[in-house]
């Protein structure tokens, strides 16, 4: 085993990684699917970034003229 990598003892199978709670103000991350742990490949690495959801636009202002 390579130094620095923990032994996980995952059974050989197909897995997916799902974001269970999206932080407030961020866009959900798409599931990572099709992770097949077996004799052909036992180690995987993934990188995802949560992006901030832009706030909705402000409502248009109503200007009333001629009212004392």
Q: What are the pLDDT digits (tens) for 8-36? A: 677 888 999 998 998 888 889 999 998 88
The range of the structural domain enclosing residue 31 comes to: 10-40
Is 31 inside any structural domain? Answer: yes
Average pLDDT in the chain? 80
Output the pTM of the full model. Answer: 0.54
Is 67 inside any structural domain? Answer: no
- Model confidence at 40, in pLDDT bands (50, 70, 90)? confident
Domain count, the chain: 1
Is 23 inside any structural domain? Answer: yes
Is 30 inside any structural domain? Answer: yes
- Model confidence at 43, in pLDDT bands (50, 70, 90)? confident
- Model confidence at 66, in pLDDT bands (50, 70, 90)? low
Asked whether 51 and 30 are in contact (CB, 8 A), the reply is no
Is 27 inside any structural domain? Answer: yes
Q: Nearest-CA neighbor of 38 among 5, 15, 7, 6?
A: 15
């Amino acid at each position: 085993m390579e130094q620095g990598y923990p032994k996980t003892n995952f059974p050989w199978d197909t897995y997916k990684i799902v974001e269970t709670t999206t932080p407030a103000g961020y866009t959900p991350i798409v599931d990572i699917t099709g992770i097949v742990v077996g004799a052909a490949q036992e180690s995987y690495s993934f990188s995802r970034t949560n992006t901030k959801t832009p706030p909705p636009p402000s409502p248009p202002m109503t200007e009333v003229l001629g009212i004392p």
